[in-house]
Structure 1
Amino acid sequence: MATVNRIKLGSQGLEVSAQGLGCMGMSAFYGPPKPEPEMIALIHHAINSGITFLDTSDVYGPHTNEILLGKALKEGMRERVELATKFGINFADGKREIRGDPVYVRAACEASLKRLDVDCIDLYYQHRIDSKVPIEVTIGELKKLVEEGKIKYIGLSEASASTIRRAHAVYPITTVQLEWSLWSRDVEEEIVPTCRELGIGIVAYSPLGRGFFSSGAKLLENISKDDFRRHLPRLQPENLDHNKKLFDRVNEMAVKKGCTTSQLALAWVHHQGDDVCPIPGTTKIENFNENIKALSVKLTPEEMTELESIASADAVKGDRYTRDVTTYKDSETPPLSSWKAS
């Protein structure tokens, strides 16, 4: 098994394993929930292998993924991990809403602490930005939760550069979570440089392109009918043939390199810098073992250039999400002067 180094994320003191484990697919969105005993065994295997940075959210399930992690972190496991969860996406009366108002922030945190069965959350992210509430108001409440010892570090997910700046001015943001992979490179333009300027760590979710770099177009043959990836624009027939060429070219390079396509794609994210931690998710121990080996795949500057020319910013057809999903492009919030606390 590859040795897993530790890296510092952000400038507030958070230290994590150089690769994390995204836990969403164990409970939600990628088909039916997986058997709990198997998922707990996988989480324990990850921790024992040195992957100690675990990523969840209250919306995964909803709630069931946090409960799963709470069960997995009994008997001395809690002290060995860096636990990240998120708030901000709420389902009220079957409708999806984004909330960042102080009352909701506090209630969401208390509920997550209870489900995870912990006294403190290591890293607490705003999962999506509430465009109705000034970001300063949301961060102000999170700052109080830090001061009360309920959370240690604050993160943002899918936030624009300007939103990150405004948030960081209220209280230091430790990490920004964003989609970054060989087929999602738009964040390199403005968001990544902003994080680096401010000393904010970067957590890359979906570093394998939602599993596309594991199996290419065959991905759709292997996933269940209710897997949300079936609706992603990039995996629709009109875009898939084009995007398959990208997979084929990365695969050719992986064959020459003597690694798998997913290991090459993951290694590319690792080579972005020691302030970047990818969090590939999986539900199978053999896939986890494959992912961890990406840590020992070394890429030369020439190989990085070649990969980036194959996967240039405009090489992929189709958006990351369907139009109804909020992303960093929808994350601007009103000025603080407009806020009237109810």
Structure 2
Amino acid sequence: MVDLEFWGDLAQKAFVNGFPSTNWANRMVEPWKGLPFGPNLHAVRPQRLRTLTGPVEAPQDSLWSRLQFFAAAEPVRHTEDQLDSALFAKLPIDVRLLIYEEVLGNMVFHLEARNNGTQIVKEICCRPDLIDEPIHQCHISNPRKSPSFSGNGNQHSSSLLPLLLTCRRVYSEVIPILYGTNVFEFRQGKGAFYFLRLMLPPQRLANIRHFRLHMRLPHHPHINSRSRRDWETMLMFFTTEMPALNKLYLRLLTNYITETQITETDDVDGAEWTKPIMRMVVDVQRNRRCHVKFVTPGVSGGVAHDCIGIFKETAKTTGLSPQERLIELASIALHERIRVSIEGPT
């Protein structure tokens, strides 16, 4: 299957490059492509050579740690107590965490991919209180905190780095605060999954609590088997690989052709692509009370759909039914609301 996809992608590129009109050629091959973020989403996660974060309160002199030292292929890394520092000697951990959160927490990071996705650049939102507006514009970075995450080793000036680079113990205490108390927002799916899947080690991914994604769909997510697979895998990713996720914002950015396909599809048939959404929403809300905000195009710029509310309403009106049946019926209702929001008032 992978080899067929590889040669298929190669043939598509050759077709596009062989025509004078690249735009026309891209439109011709679009129905056979997967979704833009598919390659990053399905890529094998790279193995980190070492773990930067050690145990904060490690029993370094225990017999077990000494045995690990001799048994391990490389020495076990420990975090020194650093008791000569007043920060650790005089301040308890709960006070230190409050300080870290004040310095590095409660921000909104607008993120985008550059250099063909090998570098993730951030901008600190200057109006985080307006983040939920339909059209959120933020052009001025907070002067005390500025760019960037990088996947290629480049160095960038940033006031986020000095505290993290102080020592290993500070890093071990601070890094969960950085990922757990800030909002990460991407306006492109491809860059988002390069960051989540290929840049972040699993322990960092597991710290993220608030994630926002503006996802551009060049075609309907169920136009072919590859797009269907990418769509379902993406939603399963949020379900299984981000266990701390507390708030998830998904906004679909579609074109006229995709919107036409949605409005011309019967709601029962259209539920095939809304069902993975409903299944994900029900799963994350039930297991960890994660709130999902799902936004689709509408006449007023965007319409937010209360997916869990639709599910509960369906359960209330249909009575006791198997959960999968409730999800199916709620998915039909969700597709109807998406279709109506795109069509507008009649």
TM-score, with length taken from structure 2: 0.31
Q: Which structure is higher in RCO with an 8 Å CA cutoff and minimum separation 6?
A: 1
TM-score, with length taken from structure 1: 0.31
Structure with higher Rg: it is 2
